[in-house]
Amino acid sequence: MTTTTTPQAARTTAAGRLGALTRAELVLLVRNRTALFVSLLMPLLMIGSIRAGLDRVGLEGTGMSLVEAAMTGGVGMVLVIVVYLNLVPAYVARREELVLKRLRTGEATDTEILTGTALPSVAITLVQCVIMVGAAVAFLGVRAPQRPELLVAGVLLGVVLLGALAAYTSTLTRTVESAQLTTMPLFFVTAFGSGLFVPLEVLPERVEAVCALLPVTGVVTLVRAGWLGGADTGDLVRAGATALVWTAVAVFAVRRRFRWEPRH
């Protein structure tokens, strides 16, 4: 008597699922000219605005030149624009088109779905940061990163934090068009309160103390300390702790409140 066996359906791996989601999201990103503009050109325009604004600010006592302040603020601006401003409408669009709901019926986990949607923006962010640092050192006379490990840690922590904040902001956003409004509060608070346009060192002491507690301030502090050096251990510990706390809060909020189905 012979027995026959039927092959089991091949199961996908986490890496394979993430790769498929990332490729699909990348195709959608390339087709979306507005998203491409936000990702590739808007950060460069904002760096020009940062430098123009710093012309009116005295940087004496900050230990930074005009170009150094603009370029380190530019890294933070890339994180905010390419990760946060780009991902909020992406999550909203996928939700309203029932893409997220359909993906949850397959093998992909919730974390894989959210991560796969974010990976193209994350990749663009990392490439832009590398190019920005290299170009600033090679052509603008900016000193090479003094503590590269802090610079890398700040950028990676910023990616996770702003990705989580984008996912949470999408729960407050009804349509792709309204994302232009729901993202503005965090964008403006970060741009003017977290040291992107104006280094915190030039602000009054009480204002600086309040701004130090904002979500992205810790990330910007780590980026500047990693690139330019000069920060003491206490400041770095506080910056890292602030960024980690905000990241934990954002991830917890996403796990509890993220919407997978269209809002009615």
Q: State the residue for tokens 């790769």.
A: 19
The pTM (predicted TM-score) of the whole model is 0.90
Residues 168-179 have a mean pLDDT of: 96
Q: State the residue for tokens 């005009």.
A: 66
Percent of the chain whose predicted confidence (pLDDT) is above 70: 91
Is residue 42 predicted with pLDDT exceeding 60? yes
Is residue 8 predicted with pLDDT exceeding 60? no
Instruction: For residue 174, give the amino acid letter.
Output: R
Question: In degrees, to the nearest 5, what angle opens at C-alpha 195 toward C-alphas 159 and 141?
Answer: 90
Give the integer Cα–Cα distance in Å for 171 and 21.
21
Q: Report the SS3 class of residue 178.
A: coil
Residues 16-43 have a mean pLDDT of: 86
Query: Is 55 or 230 the better-scoring residue by pLDDT?
Result: 230
Residues 28-56 have a mean pLDDT of: 77
Is residue 28 predicted with pLDDT exceeding 90? no
Is residue 150 predicted with pLDDT exceeding 70? yes
Q: State the residue for tokens 């779905």.
A: 113
**What mean pLDDT, rounded, does the chain reach?**
89
Instruction: For residue 112, give the amino acid letter.
Output: E
Q: In this predicted model, what pLDDT tens digit does every residue of 50-101 receive, in sequence order?
A: 766 666 666 666 678 888 888 999 999 999 999 999 999 999 999 999 999 9
Residues 107-116 have a mean pLDDT of: 94
Pick the closest to residue 124 from 37, 189, 45 (CA basis): 37
Is residue 124 predicted with pLDDT exceeding 50? yes
Give the integer Cα–Cα distance in Å for 120 and 118.
6
